[in-house]
């Protein structure tokens, strides 16, 4: 099979198209023929080995070289084979899932619990845009109650577009913060109001919200607490990228300050959630009902995967960047 391999840290130019053996599914695993994947910030953070503080923590960003050979966490495709003990899927089933790397290859092997059946009303490209970003958004807004007010800072990106739609589906009144050119798009996916951050500081509007989902990390927690209602929550998802500490520094600082503010602070962490199967099933249900529609900015052919990563890394794309096989 063909796959883009990451041999060393660097720009998207280091990704090498390589022939690899097709993996065989083990106990409880499925082998999926990938039809589409999508690019996430996690891909280029690992590709560059940044923030460098992460190299001290182990995992996909190793100390001297990448701990992950093939990037790509989102996949949509067809089950090619199942391992012993798998009863939920059979060869030919159309699925989408969140895997621990491997999406930048023609086949990927992962535990069956990392997949769900692809909604019939979504194409493979649309389904591939969902897993990591939408699962992260779901963790951030899961406890929203009807009638609550939700502010999404960074509403036009991958996680943000899903956070807006999910909070709206759960009955909240949603305000999105984005740049000028994305204001209408954010309104079109369910935000009752969109704040243009180039002209308005959302922490100075005098309004208060029951939940602030901070994806952009463009304001400090001390500034953000001005807009959080008494008993409200502040969910840290990410922040501005940097070579050494950011966005990890912003997240750590927010968590460190949590004992000194009224807001409840949580970190949206898909890896630690332990709910991948259930969350993907819920997302599939919402997509089937028309309450969740992926926003896709650009779609690249598999051969242009490095270009797709390069474009996503620029940080200005509304919604998701998808790679089709």
Q: Say if 10 falls within a structural domain.
A: yes
Domain of residue 63, CATH code? 3.90.180.10
Are both 145 and 104 inside the same structural domain?
Answer: no
Look at residue 36 and tell me whether its pLDDT is greater than 60. Answer: yes
Segment 301-321 shows an average pLDDT of 96
Burial of 238 (0-12, 13-18, 19+ CB in 10 A): buried
Which range of residues forms the domain containing residue 203? 133-271
Q: Is the pLDDT of residue 60 over 90?
A: no
Same domain, 180 and 238: yes
Per the prediction, the chain carries an average pLDDT of 90
DSSP strand pairing (149-153 vs 107-111): unpaired
Outline where the chain has alpha helix (H): 41-48, 124-128, 131-141, 158-169, 183-188, 221-224, 248-257, 270-273, 276-288, 305-313
- The token pair at 6 is 């990451």
Clarify whether residues 13 and 137 are in a common domain.
no
> Taking residues 218-232, what's their average pLDDT?
91
Tell me: the pLDDT tens digits for 17-26? 999 999 999 9
Q: How far is CA 42 from its chain centroid?
A: 8
- Grade residue 156 by pLDDT with cuts at 50, 70 and 90: very high
pLDDT > 70: percent of the chain: 85
The reply to whether 58 and 163 lie within a common domain is no
- What's the rounded Cα separation, in Å, for the pair 278 and 124? 20
Q: 3-class SS at 104?
A: coil
Q: pLDDT tens digit string along 228-247?
A: 999 999 998 865 554 444 44
pLDDT at 257: 59
Give yes or no: residues 145 and 214 share one domain: yes
Residue 210, pLDDT > 50, answer yes
Work out the pLDDT band at 62, boundaries 50, 70, 90: low
- What per-residue confidence (pLDDT) applies to 242? 44
Domain membership of residue 283 (yes or no) is no
CATH number of the domain residue 147 falls in: 3.40.50.720
**Domain membership flag for residue 305:** yes
Q: What percent of the chain has pLDDT over 90?
A: 78
One domain for residues 31 and 107? yes
Q: Give the pLDDT mean for 180-196.
A: 98
**Residues 140 and 267 both lie in one domain:** yes
Residue that wins the pLDDT comparison between 56 and 286: 286
Per the structure, the count of domains in the chain is 2
Q: Given this model, what pLDDT does residue 190 score?
A: 98
**For residue 279, is it within any domain?**
no
Residues 122 and 151 in one domain: no
**What are the angstrom distances between the C-alpha of 126 and each of 80, 118, 285, 287?**
20, 10, 14, 10
| Res 244: pLDDT | 40
pLDDT band at 55 (very low <50, low <70, confident <90, very high): very low
Least reliable range by pLDDT among 114-128, 131-145, 180-194, 262-276: 262-276
Q: Are both 22 and 111 inside the same structural domain?
A: yes
Per-residue pLDDT at 49: 87
Give, to the nearest 10 degrees, the angle between helix 158-169 and helix 131-141: 50
- Is residue 287 a part of any domain in this protein? no
Residue 117 burial (CB count, 10 A): 17
Identify whether 282 is part of a domain: no
Ranges 67-71, 188-192, 220-224, most confident: 188-192
**Residue 265, in any domain of the structure:** yes
In sequence order, the β-bridge partners of residue 74 are 38, 98
**One domain for residues 107 and 219:** no
Looking at the structure, do residues 208 and 219 belong to the same domain, yes or no?
A: yes
Q: Is residue 280 part of a domain?
A: no
Question: For the whole model, what pTM was predicted?
Answer: 0.91
Encode pLDDT of 90-108 as tens digits: 999 999 999 999 999 999 9
On whether both 110 and 225 belong to a single domain, the answer is no
């Amino acid at each position: 099979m063909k796959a883009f391999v990451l041999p060393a840290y660097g720009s998207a130019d280091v990704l090498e198209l390589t022939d690899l053996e097709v993996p065989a599914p083990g106990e409880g695993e499925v082998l999926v023929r990938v039809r589409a994947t999508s690019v996430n910030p996690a891909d280029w953070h690992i590709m560059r080995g940044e923030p460098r503080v992460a190299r001290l923590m182990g995992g996909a960003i190793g100390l001297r070289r990448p701990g992950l050979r093939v990037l790509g966490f989102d996949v949509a495709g067809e089950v090619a084979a199942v391992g012993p003990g798998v009863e939920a899927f059979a060869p030919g089933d159309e699925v989408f899932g969140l895997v621990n790397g491997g999406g930048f290859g023609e086949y990927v092997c992962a535990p069956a619990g990392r997949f769900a059946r692809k909604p019939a009303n979504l194409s493979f490209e649309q389904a591939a845009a969902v897993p990591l970003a939408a699962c992260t958004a779901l963790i951030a807004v899961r406890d929203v109650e009807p009638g609550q007010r939700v502010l999404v800072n960074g509403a036009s990106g991958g996680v943000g577009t899903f956070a807006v739609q999910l909070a709206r589906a759960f009955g909240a009144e949603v305000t999105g913060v984005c740049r000028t050119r994305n204001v209408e798009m954010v309104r079109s996916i369910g935000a009752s109001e969109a704040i243009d951050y180039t002209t308005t500081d959302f922490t100075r509007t005098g309004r208060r919200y029951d939940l602030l989902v901070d994806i952009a990390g463009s304001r400090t927690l001390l500034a953000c607490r001005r807009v959080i209602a008494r008993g409200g929550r502040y969910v840290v998802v990410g922040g501005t990228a940097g070579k050494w500490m950011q966005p990890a520094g912003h997240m750590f600082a927010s968590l460190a300050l949590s004992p000194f503010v009224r807001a409840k602070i949580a970190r949206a962490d898909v890896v630690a959630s332990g709910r991948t199967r259930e969350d993907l099933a819920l997302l599939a249900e919402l997509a089937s009902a028309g309450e969740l529609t992926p926003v896709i900015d650009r779609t690249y052919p598999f051969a242009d995967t490095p270009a797709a990563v390069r474009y996503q890394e620029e940080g200005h794309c509304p919604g998701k960047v998808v790679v089709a096989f």
